[in-house]
Chains A and B, each alone.
Chain A
């Protein structure tokens, strides 16, 4: 029996191999058909309506999109939510799903440079949830991988069943400048995409969204199919997703330095040499100077202009990212805050004096109730919604709204081998229209006393940055308390807004430098405030933005974990990092605060006692 088996099994293997060799193609086809069926419900056919020629509304163009969560948020292109020749974004749309139903939708946020847009569908019945597609990781894509594109090709999906095309990834990390659009880090594919596919999903064969269709490459032969198309990698869209959900009209970023390719001797690899650094840039403050050689930006090796543009072109402004450069043979690494960069809009259509202003699209349907125009935002309604959600979550941890009296923190501090006790005192705050407001912040650090009346007339910039080497810790504590107690009302002129998502680098508690900045990175939601001409940013922890902790979150959900207060816009802000959250008297409060300025730690404060009235 045993012998028989031994002889039989290779035979079997051979037979099986033959059978299997015939099957995979059909199996793969079956898998594909199943996958398409599964994905179809999440693909959206977007239609615009115009009311000029027909007061009841006429379908005027459209595109595609993909639903990314059960609430009905839809990712699409910027050029779908902001139609050419119109002023501002198109507020509302109708969207068809593969169930054959039309849904009202509103534009939520957009990223013009990256050509991404976010819409929200409104359920037809109360409690209706939406089928959605999972987002993948576009950094895993390789040339030669299979992809599927689904969407409203040629606007032919009149029954809202998306069309499907199938092809290869032709390239990744592509930089291409078509004049009217500059694509960085783009996915290049030979999968067919037509007009109407814009904004539609590019799926990998696991059924995850790995990109969004930008459109075809404009060939020199006119509107000729060039066999190649370009797409926005989903990882770039993810960088802007929290921003877009908060209704923001996003800006991209620049390093604040220009770079030249230095071509050395023949055969050598190119080197990227810093040419000029803007004085007001963070890069300049971090020490980057003319002649430095760029090595790595945000984890990517930089060996060509294309790579540099692609590495930089995927981030929102103000993000801090690691930069490695070489000077006189030494490798240096630092964190750099990116500056805002918004390329000029290339206006099409008649412009200039006498030309009629381009028409403004009209809001209609359910979405009209959820659309609020404001400068700097695609839809301010969603900014308020997200901001208030963050603040409501904070309230669950600690409600400060009745604590506008005196706050006293006592504890110990540790500063460059020195240490001792400290006391911080923050007196009452009042609303801006109150006539008598004399807030006073004092701090005793060891034997030294510091004092600031933040609203006093005639303060010098030296007063404002007290104590020295903090960048303005007293002012920061004042702003911190004011924001916690008054919330949005603490900022003048509607300047308390949600500012999207940013990385926060939490340096090791022992004061050492981390091996890799990525290892200490925490993703946080940002609320921006501005009071007494001092802008500040406050960072809130959200578990779902930090899958790297695998559920073992280092902070309570919704906690305020960091702050950045810019006393003077041309110098480094004062940075506060809160940790060691404990429940004290029914409130979850931080018991440790690190204060940093520039790239140095000022001190670590251990707060032993909170007194808040």
Chain B
């Protein structure tokens, strides 16, 4: 009798554990607390869209400090398909993050009551280590709109460490601890997405597209809620966690950190050997007139009459844009140039050389 009972128990327990597939439910639940953000036009070739995490029932949203937030026509789509405009409340470069809020039209008197992630509680309960299975939800590539679901990816936390990365030649402003992931999560538009554990608890926010400083490879990372940044506010140095930043910003208590002195770069510090057609109009298409012998361009196989379309994935609209984009690089960087030759699109790799001495 006892034996039989135990066998039944074993079967029941085993089948219950195996039959449930929590991923789809967990993902669907978390999806209710993530929004699709849209801005106007491409700003310097950067995306005009992103992802955000709802952090208050009234419609405060945590997202990455993306360039399009500086622009106009900010609007978002809620998970149920409703569309709202939003405005930036706080943009904090030290965290490379922003808090934005939904602007309700005046005719709507009833305050919003959205499902949200309690960031303070989640930060306190946060438990994550290398080897933790996680899920990333984001609107990468703007593939979803309105009530369509976010893209869901499974990833494993491979390491927790300081972020040391750059975009072109711009250093990442944030240098705190991040979760490194083994899946390509940091795609265009994914920044600001939610990283959750298998129970659906929020762990952090998906970062931007950056390259590792040492290896030059693209890094996939998320900022955990308890990651810290040292900020100088009115000359005084203080350390905050990301969750504290969110809490203070939502409650109008965040004082913006003092800006760091910026170094403006006027001229590219690299040499390509490409000679473009003469600039006759404001937006001269970047047709190659000639290539210097024994230059990076010759080695990459570029020829006259090639039209440059993309530099490292950034659209090159004119010869000026190409020059602007080049400012981001250091000698020795490898870039991918996509060109149109005749009717064909081709991509070539080019290693940038130091500026020749004159």
Contact = CB atoms under 8 A, between A and B. Distances in A.
Contacts of B324: none
B26 A144 contact: yes
A5 B1 contact: yes
A144 B21 contact: yes
Interface in A381-402: none
Contact of B344 (A21, A143, A223, A348): A348
B120 interface: no
A173 B148 contact: yes
A411 interface: no
Given A12-B5, A27-B14, A168-B152, A145 B21 contact: yes
Interface residues of B, number: 59
A448 interface: no
Contact of B187 (A5, A13, A20, A219): A219
A321 to B, nearest CB: 22
A349 B341 CA distance: 11
A350 interface: yes
By secondary structure, the A interface counts as mixed
A266 B78 CA distance: 12
Contact of B343 (A227, A263, A265, A350): A350
Given A24-B17, A267-B105, A269-B81, A190 B26 contact: no
Contact of A144 (B1, B25, B107, B141): B25
B125 to A, nearest CB: 21
Contacts of A265: 105, 107
Given A188-B143, A265-B105, A170 B151 contact: yes
B329 to A, nearest CB: 15
B150 to A, nearest CB: 8
B9 interface: yes
A8 interface: yes
A222 B339 CA distance: 12
Nearest to A19: B10
Given A144-B26, A267-B105, A348 B343 contact: yes
Contact of A21 (B17, B31, B143, B153): B17
A227 B184 contact: yes
Interface stretch (B82-90, B244-252, B262-270, B290-298): B82-90
B312 interface: yes
B24 A167 contact: no
Contact of B108 (A28, A146, A267): A267
Contacts of B342: 350
A44 interface: no
Given A9-B5, A222-B313, A228-B187, A143 B24 contact: yes
B9 A270 contact: no
Interface in B14-42: 14, 17-18, 21, 23-28, 31
B254 interface: no
A228 B143 CA distance: 11
Nearest to B312: A221
A53 B141 CA distance: 41
A598 B84 CA distance: 43
Contacts of B2: 5, 8, 12
B147 interface: yes
By secondary structure, the B interface counts as mixed
A418 interface: no
A144 B18 contact: no
Interface string A296-324: 00000001111100000000000000000
Given A9-B5, A145-B23, A228-B187, A222 B338 contact: yes
A320 to B, nearest CB: 27
Scoring A170, A174, A224 by chain B CB atoms within 10 A of each residue's CB, the highest score goes to A170
B184 A226 contact: yes
B6 interface: yes
A557 B140 CA distance: 49
B300 to A, nearest CB: 14
B109 to A, nearest CB: 12
Interface string B181-194: 00111011000000
Interface in A156-201: 167-176, 188, 190
B81 A303 contact: yes
Interface string B314-331: 100000000000000000
A139 to B, nearest CB: 14
A486 interface: no
Nearest to B186: A227
A307 B1 CA distance: 57
Nearest to B13: A20
B9 A16 contact: yes
A17 interface: yes
Nearest to A166: B154
B264 to A, nearest CB: 26
Contacts of A582: none
A219 B26 CA distance: 28
B6 A221 contact: no
A182 to B, nearest CB: 13
Contacts of B105: 265-267
A220 interface: yes
Contacts of A224: 218
A373 interface: no
Given A144-B28, A144-B152, A228-B187, A13 B9 contact: yes
A303 B14 contact: no
B152 A190 contact: yes
Contacts of B347: 222-223
B27 A144 contact: yes
A225 interface: yes
A228 B83 contact: no
Contacts of A305: 145
A142 B149 CA distance: 10
A9 B9 contact: yes
A188 B105 CA distance: 35
A266 to B, nearest CB: 5
A167 B154 contact: yes
B169 interface: no
Given A222-B336, A351-B343, A228 B153 contact: yes
A457 B144 CA distance: 58
Nearest to B82: A267
B146 interface: yes
A132 to B, nearest CB: 26
Interface in A201-258: 217, 219-228
B116 interface: no
A268 interface: yes
B151 A228 contact: yes
A351 B344 CA distance: 11
A279 interface: no
A142 B23 CA distance: 9
Contacts of A173: 148
Contact of A170 (B6, B104, B152, B314): B152
Contacts of A31: 18
A142 B24 contact: yes
Nearest to A186: B143
A23 interface: yes
Contacts of A13: 9, 13
Interface in B339-354: 342-344, 347
A167 B108 CA distance: 43
Interface in A497-535: none
Given A17-B13, A174-B143, A349-B344, A168 B23 contact: yes
A266 B23 contact: no
B10 A221 contact: no
B313 A220 contact: yes
6 contacts: A27-B18, A143-B27, A167-B154, A170-B153, A220-B313, A267-B104
Interface of A: 5, 8-9, 12-13, 16-17, 19-21, 23-24, 27-28, 31, 142-146, 167-176, 188, 190, 217, 219-228, 263, 265-270, 303-307, 348-351
Given A12-B6, A171-B144, A174-B148, 5 more contacts: A24-B14, A168-B153, A226-B140, A226-B184, A303-B81
6 nearest A-B pairs in the assembled complex, by CB-CB distance: A227-B184, A144-B24, A220-B313, A144-B23, A144-B27, A20-B13
